Amino acid sequence: MRTVTTLPSATEIVAALGCEPVGVSHECDYPPGAADAPAVTRSTIDASGSSAEIDQQVLESADTEGGVYDVDVETLDALDPDAIITQGMCDVCAVDEIVVADAVDRIDAAPDIVTTDPHTVGDVLDDVERIGQAIDREERAREVRADLEFRIEAIRNRTADIDADDRPRVAVFDWTDPVMTAGHWTAELVAWAGGEYGLADVGEASRPREWEEIRAYDPEIVVVAPCGFDLEQIARNRTDLTEREGWDDLTAVEEGRVWALDGDHYLNRPGPRLVDTLEALAPIVRPNLFDAAETLASAPLEKIAVPFDALGDGRETDDQAELEPEP
């Protein structure tokens, strides 16, 4: 089948099922080679700005007719898709089903539109099977789901009996200016990793928080994983947190338990690599129970998360540039 995906997590699911999309979104960059397919979407936001600048652009886009994303109707028409995998969860994170449906009305093909709307890990696993059914990969989808569930259980079985009083308070930031706490599947991942997530219930949406709420919660572990930010971009915006009043007084900061996690590729992509995220969180939350080298199935921890203090400011110095090997 000729499948088009309009968000990175859908591309990763389709790839895990053994298919190569004929068209992808402008943000699709995994697995390697995904970006070689024609892009059928584009963003009106300059994602290279600071956290505050990006937030302001999103707010301004909400007041315009075009919104955050466009679909390249001409390219979509030329691809002649049989199925389009899109989403209805967040019109800021990726092009949504309404925009896609409008584009489909303007092309000759009549593809099936499969809309994902995950808010829990179970929803993501269900999406694997729904997409598998839509693109004739049902058996492979069952195999992929079984493997992901096996890896999840390997973590859960080692933390299930930890008493509530022994679970460290964890805060996961989905954005840093303004501060937003991560929702949806985050509470599950933290609990399975052996922590307590008192900032959102399972399935609850990510939302802005007053900084005083964070100070009152006083997390023992902080994970900074802004939506759409890799580790380098987190580094460039680290002062969003470090210059806040009371940051140095948080227990997590005092005890050196603050981590930066690639939110773009891991925590905020509701696809197979959410399980990689769990495997990365486990040694962060319970280093006494998990060894990162043994826990992570696909990538070393330093490719996913690093101690926050090790980030620097994300800007290369002249001395560092001189040390870089020539291409």
Per residue in 42-76, pLDDT (tens digit) is 876 656 678 777 767 666 665 555 566 789 999 99
| Amino acid (one-letter) located at 53 | E
Determine the Cα–Cα distance for residues 271 and 73; give it in Å rounded to an integer: 26
SS (H, E, C) the chain: CCEEECCHHHHHHHHHCCCCCCEECCCCCCCCCHHHCCECEEECCCCCCCHHHHHHHHHHHHCCCCCCEEECHHHHHHHCCCEEEEECCCCCCCCEHHHHHHHHCCCCCCCEEEEECCCCHHHHHHHHHHHHHHCCCHHHHHHHHHHHHHHHHHHHHHHCCCCHHHCCEEEEEEEECCEEECCCCHHHHHHHCCCECCCCCCCCCCEECCHHHHHHHCCCEEEECCCCCCHHHHHHCCHHHHCCCCHHHCHHHHCCCEEEECHHHHHCCCCCCHHHHHHHHHHHHCCCCCCHHHHCCCCCHHHHEEEHHHCCCCCCCHHHHHHCCCC
CATH class label, 3-117: alpha beta
| Average of per-residue pLDDT across 204-225 | 96
**pLDDT of res. 320:** 33
Q: Which of 5-14, 165-174, 222-231, 292-301 has the lowest mean pLDDT?
A: 292-301
Mean per-residue pLDDT, 161-168: 97
Inform me whether the pLDDT recorded for 93 exceeds 70: no
- Decide if 231 contacts 224 (C-beta within 8 A): no
User: Is 50 exceeded by the pLDDT of residue 295?
Assistant: yes
Q: Answer yes or no: is pLDDT of 322 > 50.
A: no
pLDDT at 162 over 50: yes
CA distance 220 to 130: 38
Q: CA angle, 147 as apex, 295 and 15 as ends, to 5°? A: 105
Q: Is 103 exposed, middle or buried (0-12, 13-18, 19+ CB in 10 A)?
A: buried
More confident residue, 177 or 320: 177
Q: Check whether 317 has a pLDDT greater than 80.
A: no
Lowest mean pLDDT among 195-204, 247-256, 297-306: 297-306
**How high is the pLDDT of residue 325?**
35
- Going by C-beta distance under 8 Å and a sequence separation of 6 or more, which residues neighbour residue 128? 13, 16, 17, 141, 144, 145, 148, 272
* pLDDT exceeds cutoff 90 at 40: yes
Higher pLDDT, 86 or 315: 86
The CATH code that applies to domain 146-310 is 3.40.50.1980
Domain boundaries, the chain: 3-117, 146-310
Q: Tell me the backbone φ, ψ of residue 85, rounded to 5 degrees.
A: -100, 120
Say if 3-117 and 146-310 have the same CATH topology. Answer: yes
**Which of 18, 27, 3 is CA-nearest to residue 85?**
3
> What pLDDT is stored for residue 321 in this prediction?
34
Q: What is the mean pLDDT of the chain?
A: 89
Q: What is the pLDDT of residues 266-291, one digit of tens each?
A: 999 999 999 999 999 999 999 999 99
234-257 per-position pLDDT tens digit: 999 999 999 999 999 999 999 999
Residue 323 has pLDDT above 80, yes or no: no
Please give the share of the chain, as a percent, with pLDDT higher than 70: 88
pLDDT at position 297 is 82
